[in-house]
Structure 1
Amino acid sequence: RQTRIVQGSSTLWKIFTINHHLREETSTNNKANVRLDATIDMTTGEVLLANDATDFDDQDEWFQAYVPQEQDGCYLDTPDGLVAEAGDSTDKVCWWHMADGKVLGLHQGQLVEYDAETLSPLGIVVHRENLQQRQVMVVQDGTAVVLVDNNNNNNNTKNNNNNNNN
């Protein structure tokens, strides 16, 4: 778990991350690790990042947030039925409103939930490993998302056909 803290005045803001799982090794009272992420000069608008992105390993594994836009051409007006075929969800970018107002979308092979008002990404609903080779369907008038594993369906169909022949 992490918490973000913004500390500032009318001229300078500092953004910190508190990592509740990492503890300071030098601390005798078990304090959580606090990291300065950025400093923002409110007069000039200059943002100074405390950590260069090249300092971190596994940059290929980073999630790059796609923020839906009203006119981006990726919006599905009526997502009833098949949204993504098995195998094409890794390249597909689309988003839609569910019946309850929640906003879901496919991006980088993952099913992502977005804030309904700002369309900012809230989190990953289904990770890419769990979405591979599955169809994504919106059913029951937009009240449910269903993942269909074609491999399991083929096995079930074969078993049902064998049972019908007996």
Structure 2
Amino acid sequence: MGFAYEDGALVPDGTGPPSRAALGNTCHPATRPGHMLPHAWIERDGERLSTHDLVGRAGGFVLITGPEGKAWCDTAAEAAEKLSVPLTTARIGDGAEYAAADGRWATVREITDEGAVPVRPDHHVAWRSTTAGNDPGAALDDAFAHPRPGLARPHSTARLRP
């Protein structure tokens, strides 16, 4: 329980891992990069879903934001196209396309209403921004453009040659 990647296809955010029980029998859900996306019940158009149902629907990354994460969503399509990274978006919370069905998402998301959590197709958090910051588009570009295995694909093979 509570397995997390510490490096690889993720962008660390400088935070430490959540505390662990001595016996390892208690899991503290976290959106810290490298950790599995926490489960929370959400709803859309009367359908009850898990946050895990958002991942992999379109075969790629999903950018989950708070209800005020419109700036992230507006720049996600542009960043995905520019960087050749499949990326869909989902806003969760009051007034967003997904409603937090039981309130759990608010307790495990670890971001503000303006923050964002990109999640890999394997349900592990790739990166996290607790707020919208000054330029969400630049932040997404930076997170996906660095050569981390599994995060971004090169734009052309020419970039790989000396």
What TM-score bracket applies, with the shorter chain setting the length?
under 0.3
User: Which has the higher Rg, Structure 1 or Structure 2?
Assistant: 1
- Normalized per residue, the structure richer in strand is 1
TM-score, structure 2 length as denominator?
Answer: 0.27
- Normalized per residue, the structure richer in helix is 2
